[in-house]
Amino acid sequence: MSAALALPVVRGALTAAAPLAPLVWFKSGGAAEWLFEPADVDDLQAFLASLPAETPVMALGLGSNLIVRDGGVAGVVVRLGKAFAHVEHVVDTQIRAGGGASGILLASRARDLGIAGLEFLRGIPGTVGGFVRMNGGAYGREVSDILVECDVVLKDGTRRTLSRAALDYRYRHSALPEGAVVVSALFEGVPGDPAVIGAEMDRIAAAREASQPLRSKTGGSTFKNPPGEKAWALIDAAGCRGLQRGDAQVSPKHCNFLINLGSATSVDIEALGEEVRARVKAATGIELEWEIKRVGEVK
Instruction: Indicate which residues carry an active-site annotation.
Output: 172, 221, 291
Query: 3-state SS string over the chain?
Result: CCCCCCCCCCCCEEEEEEECHHHCCCCCCCEEEEEEECCCHHHHHHHHHHCCCCCCEEEECCCCCEEECCCCEEEEEEECCHHHCCEEEEECCEEEEECCCEHHHHHHHHHHCCEECCHHHHHCCCEHHHHHHHCCEECCEEHHHCEEEEEEECCCCCEEEEECHHHCCECCECCCCCCCEEEEEEEECEECCHHHHHHHHHHHHHHHHHHCCCCCEEEEECECCCCCCCHHHHHHHCCCCCCEECCEEECCCCCCEEEECCCCCHHHHHHHHHHHHHHHHHHHCCCCCECCEEECCCC
